[in-house]
Chains A and B, each alone.
Chain A
Amino acid sequence: MKNEHSHQTTKKFGMVINLDLCTGCGSCMVACMAENNVPFKPDETDKLKSITWMRVYRLTNGKPFPETDICYLPRPCQHCEGHEGHSPCVSVCPATATDYDSQTGIVSQIYTRCFGCRYCMAACPYHARYFNWYDPVWPDGMEKYLNPNVSPRMRGVVEKCSFCYHRYQAAKDRAYVEGQREIAEEDYQTACTQACPAGAITFGDLNNPEHAVYKLKQDPRAFRLLERLGTNPKVYYISSKEWVRKAGDNYLPDEKPKK
């Protein structure tokens, strides 16, 4: 068993999102909510309390018509690696309720251990973490359609995108039953990736040269959000527009982005 473990290659699951293809339709958000049993709250008008593991932002170049340009930017949890796994949120959680898995690169959230101090939310510059201000509720009958592989979260704990980790577990189980050592790229895909009608989201192992994301992340137009902070995220974006790439980080007035 020990030998088997040592032969495992370290994976680094991540995403590359092509913003040139994203239409802002929101399918990724809907798929994510359905897949991960994201609850509703009594009043959804206050969006600062809405839980959206995947959130589509609308960016604009700020120029007047006719030079106005917009771009939609889907933002899941960035699964930051930080420096040697010290991602912003993992290092601050006092109860070790969120963890960086060095075997997969996925930042997990242990709902039953979280006691709701919200320090991780304060630490995350992407606002990718959400607090359950209310007990989860679903419209009558909808609880029958909940995903049995994902535990609903209780009031008073933090939740976030898990890169559909339950799908990874299922894929590993299948691979084991079929006698495979490794899971294939297509066997583990997130719900948002599969739901995107434009094919803007690509998911896979960033360390594996056979996976599409490995090549895509090297695209000269690829960038990550807030790279200068040292968060070392695993979600890459591609845009052919310079103003979009510039919007991915902060720059002083006399600075220019490298890409």
Chain B
Amino acid sequence: MIDAALIPNGVKRCSFGKFLLGLAVVGAVLLWGVYAMLLCWFKGLNQTNMNDYYGFALWIWADLAVIALGGGAFFSGFLKYLTGKDELKNIINYAVLIGFICYSSALLILAIDVGQPLRSWFIFWHANVHSMLTEVAFCLSCYFGVLTIEFIPLILENRQLNKISFFHHLAHNMHEIMAVFAATGAFLSFFHQGSLGGVSGVLFGRPFAYREGLFIWPWTFFLFTWSAAAYGPCFTLLITKITELISGKKLVKDNVIELLAKISGWMMATYIVAKIIDTIYWATVTAPSKGFLVSDFYSNNAFYGMWILIAEILFGGVVPALILITPAGRKNPKARTLAIVLAVIGVCINRWVMVLQTMAAPVMSFDRWALYYPSWQEVATTVLPVAYGAILIMICYRYLPIFPQEPELNPID
């Protein structure tokens, strides 16, 4: 193989031609997304199906969803470096890579989503300290910096780069102090995940989203942080599973997977209890105090019915939590995979309703539900980060020792 010298020791990779073909296929999707992105930048947001009722739409949902799913990076780092779960060293590289992809994607989506991208820096320069979005911008940018720092030593472990003495020692020393960055990452993540929850929770003009809370933080602040820590590892496990299926190899030992699944399950179980309490309080106290029955938010429209609340809480929360906290459940590969898939869908539904249903539900008694479907440009730019993520994973998997257990699990004859 032409690139044999770059491939990590002790592992086998597909032919370079097959790799290029894979890159070309995903690259075509990426180019489609880039074309749509350029249309949005040069022609404006009239390329989307957003309107004055749907100021926030598919992109903001994608933003919130990838940040929640990318939460696996900070929480796995927290578990490994700060609580001493050393087994997780076998999956932490991948969690960091997935987190890096998710957060860089979120920043890219935001850059497309704003009406005047060249003024994006105003959020830092003219910062309004009362705005949750300001907190999001600061913490998100800082945490992306932390993730980059966490990602660098992994890149430097490439076989050829690692031969250079400076890079070798730099990577080693960065590993040594990684606990500091893991702690910083966990601290920053607490705030930006929380402030993303606060984005909708503080909207006192939107009774569907509004929540009371503690001091300046609505309950959604804490629920978003908790759910990112609970569901993020599930996404890490899901992508690991997909990578194993595509590569046809076992990459991480079951005890590591089961440990992360167990922690994720218990986090999910505690989160979903808090979420149910929050929902009951909102439905019986908060919303009625504004003159709304909870059924007002789930009726008289063509899409948002009670099914979405049940899908989110029961099938996307209670069921996967029960499977993962049960030893028999998480040790059964099929049940575990089912739980992981349900969990990922569940957190995505949560972010969806907190963004899009908030926009859709009428507030003035004489107003009406506004439903929306995305334009192809919105879909393409949302698929763009997925293609970008796939390409980055393909390159990293091929050239970097992401899975430390791979040589042991897949010995070369």
Contact = CB atoms under 8 A, between A and B. Distances in A.
B126 A95 contact: yes
A249 B291 contact: yes
A94 B44 contact: no
Interface residues of A, number: 60
A95 B296 CA distance: 34
Interface string A57-82: 10100000000000001000000001
A170 interface: no
Given A94-B137, A250-B292, A252-B291, A118 B131 contact: no
Given A94-B123, A155-B115, A156-B115, A119 B133 contact: yes
A184 interface: no
A92 B133 contact: yes
A231 interface: yes
Top 3 A-B pairs, shortest CB-CB distance: A116-B115, A156-B115, A250-B291
Interface of B: 44-46, 50-56, 113-117, 119-120, 122-123, 125-128, 130-134, 137, 199-200, 202-207, 288-293, 296, 358-359, 363-367, 370
A133 B115 CA distance: 8
Interface string A106-136: 0000000111111101111111011111110
Given A73-B366, A96-B128, A226-B363, A121 B52 contact: yes
A123 B203 contact: yes
Nearest to B291: A250
B115 A118 contact: yes
B366 A247 contact: yes
A125 B115 contact: no
A248 to B, nearest CB: 7
A82 B123 CA distance: 23
Q: Chain B at the A interface: mostly helix, strand, loop or mixed?
A: loop
Contacts of B291: 228, 249-252, 255
Contact of B46 (A122, A129, A133, A252): A133
Contact of B115 (A124, A126, A157, A249): A157
Contacts of B123: 94-95, 115, 117
B363 A92 contact: no
A88 interface: yes
Contacts of A134: 44, 46
Contacts of A127: 52-53, 364, 367
Nearest to B118: A115
Given A95-B122, A115-B123, A123-B205, A49 B51 contact: yes
A57 B113 CA distance: 30
B52 A49 contact: yes
A16 interface: no
18 contacts: A41-B46, A50-B52, A51-B52, A93-B131, A94-B131, A115-B115, A117-B115, A119-B55, A122-B206, A123-B203, A123-B205, A123-B206, A127-B52, A131-B52, A133-B51, A134-B44, A248-B365, A250-B291
